[in-house]
Amino acid sequence: MTRLYNDPVNFVDEATEGFVAAHAQRVCQVPGGVVRSTRSEPGTVAVVIGGGSGHYPAFAGLVGQGLAHGAVMGNLFASPSAQQVYNVCKAANNGAGVLLSFGNYAGDVLHFGQARERLIREGIPCEIVAVVDDVSSASREELHKRRGIAGDLTVFKVAAAAAEAGYSLEEVVRVARAANLRTRSMGVAFDGCTLPGAKDALFHVPAGKMAVGLGIHGEPGISEQEVPTADALAELLVSHLLEEVPDGVGSVAGAKASVLLNGLGSIKYEELFVVYRRVDQLLQAAGIEIVEPEVGELVTSLDMAGASLTLFWLDDELERLWKAPADTPAYRKGSLDPAPRIDTSKLDIPDADAIPPASEASIAAARCLYTTLSAIRKVIDDNVEELGRMDAIAGDGDHGIGMQRGAVAAELAAEDAVSRNAGAGTLLRLAAEAWADRAGGTSGALWGVMLSALSLTLGDDDDPTPQHYARGIAKARQDVMAFGKAKAGDKTLVDALIPFSDTLERAVADNVDFATAWGKAADAAATAAEATSELKPKLGRARPLAEKSLGTPDPGAVSLSMIVAAVHTVIDKSR
């Protein structure tokens, strides 16, 4: 369990503060994460990595010469917000573009994707490589759906070494993708981890059992079995990984590979060395030349009891980049001449709270939107436990609390924006960023996307009309489906959003009174949300437990229907 903390709410902030104080010669803190405190070569690509906190040394521990230029740090096991990603990228940018890399989790894909779009709009080239090394999380045919675990390190290291060598952004992306396709990992767990202040672990593995393929956040694995000997565990992991040799490697005998044996938090180094002894024997017997292996904690999960094995199949270029020197707080290789320190006061850190001028009509609309966000917060407060109960049936049970954190943060941001005479667009932008930042996870990302779409449609100049709101909701639907890749029938909030948007758009086009039009759309959303009880999830963490969710509606669709119904009440009272 996690024993040392003050207020659990402040755990990540205080851990980051202490980490930076301990490693000021290599990193400095910026809003949303950390960047190098040493000077990088101007005109080179910046590699920015990130994800939820709780996985140290990933991600902050891998920032420094020869490795990442910056790391974005979300809350514990929650994706960072798009604003956090944007902040770190702006501070880390060296003038030749940015590569974003992270584990392939839905919230990260959404938030990093949003930040990428914003950077490109500002003229900063930006590309994404999401790591997909975990063989247990999807079939080889659906490799793009796999999650990233300890194989993150191989992709980060190769990309950063290429950037350090002066590769163009296109070339950095090329080698990062090559490393991604040549990295395979598999993990096991003996018990779950405990969040600071929690009374119990996030999950448990039955006593005497080992979960094979379990994810680093407790995502389902592929089987359970009796806890084996160290040698038997090595044989299990090696045999599984040798069954899936990446395309292009050719014969295993004579191939080169680096090997990563990773402890997830509670497995001690001596135990890992016992396992690695047998891993080395098996790989040598297969004729594999092992190049600069790593044994230790590389990507953890607080105090989770477990381990993973990674094979990184090398070619000449990947070998050279893997062996290149690096000097970070948690990962060092070879030797480097220390780079000079930067003047942190000159970092490009955006002022996310600036309030641009707005028309009187837009300022008045912003006050109405603040009232609406207060109603949204209240309906989520009233239903937080029920939403969590529904989510726990086939997910991790955090939908209610995540939505509550997001709604509270959005209301507070809107209150502050109104006090500073923000327009409707700015108020919604700040609310979107606050919701996504505080809620974390997929639902936080999606609500950030939706509120951002409305923000862009309303702007700060016009007096919003029903047509503005109908177009904004249509854009929200389009953006959510583009970022989340969900479609009708996947058992997500999209199943309620599509009929809501379509009904509102038709009613507004027919010049129906806006309150009536919104009410019709809210009814359509409620009906569609309830109908998701007959669907099986096809995306997200609930997908592996699809059968369990039959008979229960999707919590994201239900929370959406609750929210639009609450908004209808506000609109109806205001006419």
The token pair at 270 is 């001596």
Assess contact for 536 and 492: CB atoms under 8 A. no
For the chain, the 3-state helix, strand and coil shares in percent, each to the nearest 5, are: 50, 15, 35
Catalytic residues, by residue number, are 217
Phi, psi at 251, each rounded to 5°: -70, 135
Q: Which residues contact 565 (CB under 8 A, 6 or more apart)?
A: 379, 522, 525, 526
Q: How far apart are the first and last CA of the chain?
A: 54
Task: Give the number of C-alpha atoms closer than 13 A to the C-alpha of residue 76, restricted to the C-beta side.
Answer: 21
Q: Give, in order, the Cα–Cα distances in Å from 123 to each of 32, 109, 205.
A: 21, 21, 49
Residue of 542, 448, 491, 348 lying closest to 108 (CA atoms):
448
In DSSP terms, which residues pair with 559 in a beta bridge?
A: none
Could you write out the DSSP letters of every residue in 143-206? GGGPPPSTTHHHHHHHHHHHHHTT--HHHHHHHHHHHHHTEEEEEEEEE----TT-SS-S--PP
DSSP 464: -
Contacts 24+ apart (CB under 8 A), 140-143: 140/244
In DSSP terms, which residues pair with 451 in a beta bridge?
A: none
The token pair at 570 is 């506000």
Assess contact for 330 and 56: CB atoms under 8 A. yes
Assess contact for 488 and 507: CB atoms under 8 A. no
Give the pairing of strands 183-191 and 209-212. antiparallel
Rounded to the nearest 10 degrees, the angle between the axes of helix 106-121 and helix 441-458 is 30
Q: Which residues contact 276 (CB under 8 A, 6 or more apart)?
A: 234, 259, 261, 293, 295
Residue of 219, 561, 147, 182 lying closest to 386 (CA atoms):
561
3-state SS, residue 347: coil
The rounded Cα 551 to chain-centroid distance in angstroms is 29
In DSSP terms, which residues pair with 308 in a beta bridge?
A: 187, 262
Q: Which residues contact 139 (CB under 8 A, 6 or more apart)?
A: none
